[in-house]
Structure 1
Amino acid sequence: MELEEIPFSGWTAIEEKKLQAGEKPKDEKVYTMYHGTYLKYVQGIITSGFQRSSDGMLGPGVYVSRNIDKAKCYPLNADKKEAVVLKLKVRVGKVKKIDVDNHPLQKSWHQNGYDSCWVPPNSGITAIKSGREEDCVWDPARIVVVDVACCMDDKTRWDLRKQIRGMNNHGPKDGCSQCHQNTSKTGSHPIQSCWACTKQICPFQKKHVCNKKLRNVRFVS
Structure 2
Amino acid sequence: MRTHAGETSNGDTRRGIVFATAYRSLAIWHYYLQPTEDPSPLEMVANLVYLVPRSLVLGMLMLLDQLTLRSMQRAEYLADSVAARAGSTEAAVAFLDRLLVADSADTTVWRESNKLRTRPRGTGRAEEWADGLWELLAAHMESIPEHEYERQRRVGARRGHSVDDTHPPTHLRRECLLVGAVMPAAVVTDDDREQRIAAELADARRQVARQIVRGD
TM-score range, shorter chain: under 0.3
Which of structures 1 and 2 has the larger relative contact order (alpha carbons within 8 angstroms, sep 6+)? 1
Relative to the length of structure 2, the TM-score reads 0.21
Greater strand percent: which structure? 1
Pair member with larger Rg? 2
Greater helix percent: which structure? 2
Relative to the length of structure 1, the TM-score reads 0.21
